[in-house]
Amino acid sequence: MSAARDSQARRALSALRHDPPAVAGAVVLLALVVVGTAGRWLAPAGVNDVDVDQMLHPPSWAHPFGTDELGRDVLSRVLVAARVSLEVGVVSVGIALLVGAGIGLVAGYYRGWVDNVLMRGMDVLFAFPVLLLAVAIVAVLGPGLLTAMIAIGVVYTPIFARVTRAGVLSVREQVFVRAAVSIGASDLRIIRRHVLPNIAAPLIVQTSLSLAFAILSEAALSFLGLGIQPPAPAWGRMLFDGRGFVTEAWWLGFFPGAAIFLTVLAFNLVGDALRDVLDPRQLTLGEASRSTT
C-alpha cells in the first residue's frame, strides 16, 4: 500500500509540473512565502516611517508603490503585511484542519449517536454565514491577530469535519479495514494506518482551497477594523484606509488589493490542480489513456 501511495504521489507531481496554471500559482506562492519570511528585510523603508513631505506621492523610483496619507512607503507596508496574511491563513486553517478532521474521524468511524451529536453541532455552525460568525466571535473576544486566527479557524472547522466524515464513511467499508477489524486491530491503529492515509487527498485539496478563503476572511475582518490593529500593516486595513482616496491616490487601494487577488488566485489554481490530480477517477482515466496510446 505504501508503494502504491508513493506511485500515486509521483504521478500527481508529474501532472502538476505539466499544468501551467498550477506552476504559475506555485511560483506566486513561493514568492509569497519568501516575502512573508523576509519582508522586513526586503522593505525599502520602515512600515511606520512618517514623512509629511512625501504624503500621497504617486508611484516613482523612490517609492514604487507610492506613499500613503502619512507619507509611509506603500511597498514596504504591502511586503510586511504578507507575513500577517500568511500567519493568519496557515494558523487558522491549521486549527480548522486539526479540530474538524478530529471530529469527522470520530463521527464517521463510530457513527450512531456520536455521529449525530457531533455533526449536528457542525450543522449549527454551518447555519451562520462565514463572515458573520467570524465577526461575532471577534466581537466577543476582542479584535486582534490571535482572535482573528481563532475566529477564522472556528468558521472553517465544519467544512473539514464534513470532508473527513465523508471519506471515513467510504473507507471504513473497504475490505482492508474489515480485515484489520477481524484480526483484532485497535481502533487507533486502524484509523492511523488505514483510514487517515486513504482520506489524505481530499483533506490536502480542502486545505489549499481553505487557505485562499482564510486570507480573504482575514482581509475582510481587517477592513472592518476587527483584525490586525493599526499601526501594524494589513492588506485589508490598507484597503480600508485607501477607500477615501480612490480618485486622488488610486495606488493606496490598488496594490494591497492586487496582493490579495494574486494570493487568493494562486491558492485556487494550486488547489484546483491538486483536486484534479488527486482525484482517483482522473488518475484512472489518465492511466487508461496512456495504455491505449
Q: What was the pLDDT predicted at 191? A: 85
Q: What was the pLDDT predicted at 177? A: 83
The Cα 199–Cα 169 span in angstroms is 10
Ordered by start, the domain boundaries in the chain are 2-292
Q: What was the pLDDT predicted at 9? A: 59
Interval 264-283 mean pLDDT: 78
User: Does residue 264 carry a pLDDT above 60?
Assistant: yes
Q: What was the pLDDT predicted at 159? A: 94
The Cα 283–Cα 171 span in angstroms is 18
Interval 93-111 mean pLDDT: 94
User: Does residue 21 carry a pLDDT above 50?
Assistant: yes
Closest CA to 219 of 69, 76, 73, 88: 88
User: Does residue 283 carry a pLDDT above 60?
Assistant: no
Residue 6's pLDDT band, with cuts at 50, 70 and 90, is low
Residue 227's pLDDT band, with cuts at 50, 70 and 90, is confident
Residue 290's pLDDT band, with cuts at 50, 70 and 90, is very low
The Cα 145–Cα 138 span in angstroms is 10
User: Does residue 38 carry a pLDDT above 70?
Assistant: yes
User: Does residue 73 carry a pLDDT above 60?
Assistant: yes
The Cα 141–Cα 47 span in angstroms is 27
Residue 220's pLDDT band, with cuts at 50, 70 and 90, is very high
pTM, rounded to two decimals: 0.85
Q: What was the pLDDT predicted at 59? A: 94
Q: What was the pLDDT predicted at 13? A: 66
Q: What was the pLDDT predicted at 286? A: 43
User: Does residue 218 carry a pLDDT above 50?
Assistant: yes
- Sole residue written with cell 526586503: 42
Q: Please tell me which residue, 10 or 208, carries the higher pLDDT value.
A: 208
User: Does residue 112 carry a pLDDT above 50?
Assistant: yes
What CATH architecture is 2-292? Answer: Orthogonal Bundle (1.10)
Q: What was the pLDDT predicted at 11? A: 63
